[in-house]
Chain A
Amino acid sequence: MSKRQLAMVMDLNKCIGCQTCTVACKTQWTNRNGREYMYWNNVETYPGKGYPKNWMELGGGFDASGDIKAGTIPNLEADYGVPWDYNYESLALGETMLPNVEPTWGPNWDEDVGTGSFPNDNYFFYIPRICNHCTNPSCLSACPRDAIFKRDQDGVVLVDLDRCQGYRFCIAGCPYKKIYFNPKISKSEKCILCFPRIEKGLPPACAQQCVGRIRFVGFLDDEDSQVHKLVNKYKVALPLRADYGTQPNVYYIPPTEAPVKFDAEGKIIEGSNRIPAEELEKLFGSEVHTVIKTIKSEIAKRKVTGKSEILDLLIAYQHSEMFRLDNNYYNNIAKSKGLNAVAPVDQRYLKGLNTKTVSHFSLNAGGGHH
């Protein structure tokens, strides 16, 4: 376990599936050098097969007794999809628009498909996914070369490309399939939580660019961070598939608001909800019912009193409140290692005061909130 843990909260009630986060990540990190097929950030439609296809069925993570579970390495054509492009240059010459490879699958292949019968009870919602920077990362445990490490200062899980030999046991080991094989360099690569940005005072690109303002970023032990409040204080944010046993550090506000269902005559079924509770329970565990209750009662409270701190947090008024990075902290680490502390490029999200007051080792601090 790292000394501190940087975490992200995503509010699924507000995700509109616009893929701006996906594009922000792609243009920043994965549009080149063998990473073309990778989506360190993707937004998938649930229910759906997701990306890579059927990732929830591909194994990995830990079983109930704590043994790492065997997994499968997805196939590029069948499970990820080969990135394709079109012959735009030839269109002016009168040619038909054609993809350069036959598309087989992609990061948003089954976008907006969902399930149920229209218009009575069909439904879907979006789940944006990045690496969970787990407290108990199974990619790290699976690596037979000690090539994956979890940074002490913020719990970011990274691949040491110097040590990685491209065996891909990490990919089999990750239950979220959020670590990828780069065939060009024959090594594994993954989401780095934009650590070069974070250290300079900028939130990860996916969070910064999110038009729905659904992403909160901060240290779990920083009691003033909205991440801490949503995860630990109000307990309305839950990890995805915690049953995999990796203790993920991306938390989700489950989708509490969904339209009502219609009966066979097209009449509203009062009190119904299109998203089945058992589906939410599968994704977020049994605590999801408590979270839904809490949020619904906060909505009711707000209607009467006009006040609710949880809803104020979820409305996400200011980026400067949603992102609480800690440049002083990173600078002090850099100084202690004799490195040049980098001046922040953006002052808006810096607080940095909490490092003087927070104990990194108290039972309430740091990663393992499970």
Chain B
Amino acid sequence: MKTEFFKIKTAFSFGFLAFTSSTLFAENIIATKVNSSFEGIETSNIIKDLKFTEISVYPQKTIVLNDKSVAEKNSQNISKIIKVSAIYNDSDIAFVIKWQDRTLSIQEGYKTDIYGDGFAVQFPKDYSDPKKLPYIGMGSENREVLVHLQKAVPNIYEPNGNGNVELQISRNNTNYFDEELKQFDQNVSNLARIDYQKSFVSAGFRSLTEIKDDSAKVDMNMVYNHNYGCWKGTLSRKLKDEYINLNSPSFPVAFAIWDGDKNNRGGTKLLSSWQTVTLDGKTGGEVLVSEINNIQTGNLENGKAQFKANCIACHIAGEMKSAMSFMAPDLTNIGGYASSAYIRESIIDPNAVIVPGYNRNAHKNFEWYQIVDGKRISTMPSFSWLDENITNDIVSYVQTLKTQIKEEKK
């Protein structure tokens, strides 16, 4: 991340389209092939005239976190549209993500309760079976994901393990004055990492683990455009590394954004469902694209009736609040970030995807899973006995459970 990301005050030459609700159905992202390198891509000409795909991101509602201010500031959140473009060359792939955020938030200074804007890009480690992708919320057991995160947080002094303890004392505890003290301050500030860019592997929410060596090296940047009140994020990485191989005709990707002004961080975010990317010029990725973007058709009216009969005793979903809080994952926005295959799998085989979730002790009356012989067993019984048509109807209805898309004019 370039440190000037918050200093930029002039408009960029890329045309910013109004963020309106022209996208109702997921669209495939086509990565065009270029020959240039992706060095300095955030300001490079190669991303000037890209074609952007509109993608909806929805407020994460599955779990409720325990910060009062988050509840107050995010209760009215509806979905947002982000614009995504991708390019690739022989070795690398790059994404450009643009989203509107009229409140620039940077986590800086000696403060305890401010948060930075940010974005993340998630890839599944294995996408050979598009019906069994990792859980969208940072993967699931045996279905790992790789997450790249960039936050608007300059100057982080993480414990560096270099043993430079002489620079880790209070400046008041040094015996320096004047020039020597200035030099000490300078040496300390040189320890700062000015880029809050992290990569993680994860097998489910709560298991997220940072990759601290260089094995998942990426370049991420965030540039804020004051004229348009929007962020442009870039990510460039190798098509293939020891974690994932994206050198394939098509692959899934997911995006998340955080609004620091609304105290967004961690699970308080807006996220997309699994999206598909095809590498232009390669053939054979159609199955994955159609499977992931598949919209289940069915009788919505019957789906709703069946949903009410079978699901809402445990699950809260929008206005359907007969279930007790924390009893089961909240399905209010599930249609916004889950694929039809995932919804179907969860109904038929609830044990297929069980994420560690929040600490079970946080809501111990309703444990979402039990540990039996070292395996997580879902509290939810299987609904595989439902007639297939009924399941189809429920899946098609559950896909409609999502907040409206934000109508925001320029």
Give residues in A with beta carbon < 8 Å to B: 31-34, 36-37, 59-60, 65-76, 80, 82, 85, 136, 138, 140-146, 161-163, 165-169, 171-173, 180-181, 183-187
Contacts and interface: CB of A to CB of B under 8 A. Distances in A.
Interface stretch (B63-71, B296-304, B311-319, B376-384): B63-71
A67 B362 contact: yes
A69 B66 contact: yes
B207 interface: yes
17 contacts: A32-B170, A33-B168, A36-B170, A66-B363, A68-B66, A69-B66, A70-B71, A136-B361, A142-B65, A145-B266, A161-B158, A165-B265, A165-B266, A169-B67, A173-B66, A183-B111, A186-B158
B209 A163 contact: yes
Nearest to A82: B110
Given A66-B364, A167-B265, A184-B110, 6 more contacts: A31-B172, A33-B168, A34-B110, A68-B363, A71-B68, A186-B156
A36 B170 CA distance: 9
A80 B362 contact: no
A340 B238 CA distance: 42
B112 A181 contact: yes
A169 B205 CA distance: 15
Q: Counting chain A CB atoms within 10 Å of each CB, which of B110, B159, B209, B265 scores highest?
A: B110
State the main secondary structure of chain A at its contact with B: loop
Nearest to B170: A32
Interface in B356-390: 356, 358-359, 361-365
A57 B179 CA distance: 46
B230 interface: no
Nearest to B69: A72
Given A31-B170, A32-B168, A73 B361 contact: no
B326 interface: yes
Contacts of B359: 140-143, 146
A80 B112 contact: yes
B304 to A, nearest CB: 29
Interface in B143-169: 153, 156-159, 168-169
B281 interface: no
Contacts of B172: 31, 85
A146 B66 CA distance: 15
Contacts of A73: 67, 69, 112-113
Contacts of B170: 31-33, 36
Contacts of A67: 325-326, 362-363, 365
Interface in B90-131: 107, 109-113
B111 A172 contact: no
Given A144-B205, A186-B107, A172 B112 contact: no
Contacts of A141: 358-359, 361-362
A260 B388 CA distance: 79
B206 interface: yes
B107 A70 contact: no
Contacts of A185: 156-159
B243 interface: no
A34 B205 CA distance: 28
A32 B173 contact: yes
Contacts of A36: 170
Contacts of B26: none
B207 A146 contact: yes
A66 B109 contact: no
A186 B112 contact: no
A2 to B, nearest CB: 14
Taking residues whose C-beta sits less than 8 angstroms from the other chain, chain B's interface range is 35 or more
B139 interface: no
B192 to A, nearest CB: 9
A183 B109 contact: yes
Nearest to B192: A184
Contacts of B184: none
B112 A180 contact: yes
Nearest to B107: A186
B184 to A, nearest CB: 12
Given A33-B168, A183-B111, A185-B157, A172 B68 contact: yes
Nearest to B168: A33
Nearest to A146: B206
B157 A31 contact: no
A71 B113 CA distance: 13
Contacts of B364: 66
A106 to B, nearest CB: 15
B306 to A, nearest CB: 30
A167 B110 contact: no
Contact of B66 (A34, A136, A172): A172
Name which of A60, A75, A165 has the most chain B CB atoms within 10 A of its CB: A165
A157 to B, nearest CB: 13
Nearest to B63: A144
B112 A65 contact: no
Contacts of B325: 67
A306 B267 CA distance: 62
A62 to B, nearest CB: 9
Interface in B168-219: 168-170, 172-173, 196, 205-210, 212
A65 B365 CA distance: 8
Contact of A144 (B107, B109, B112, B266): B266
Given A68-B66, A169-B66, A185-B158, A145 B206 contact: yes
A333 to B, nearest CB: 24
A138 B207 CA distance: 19
Given A32-B170, A75-B113, A167-B265, A144 B65 contact: yes
A-B residue pairs, 6 tightest by C-beta: A32-B170, A167-B266, A141-B362, A68-B362, A172-B67, A141-B361
B354 to A, nearest CB: 16
Given A68-B363, A142-B359, A167-B266, A32 B169 contact: yes
A147 to B, nearest CB: 10
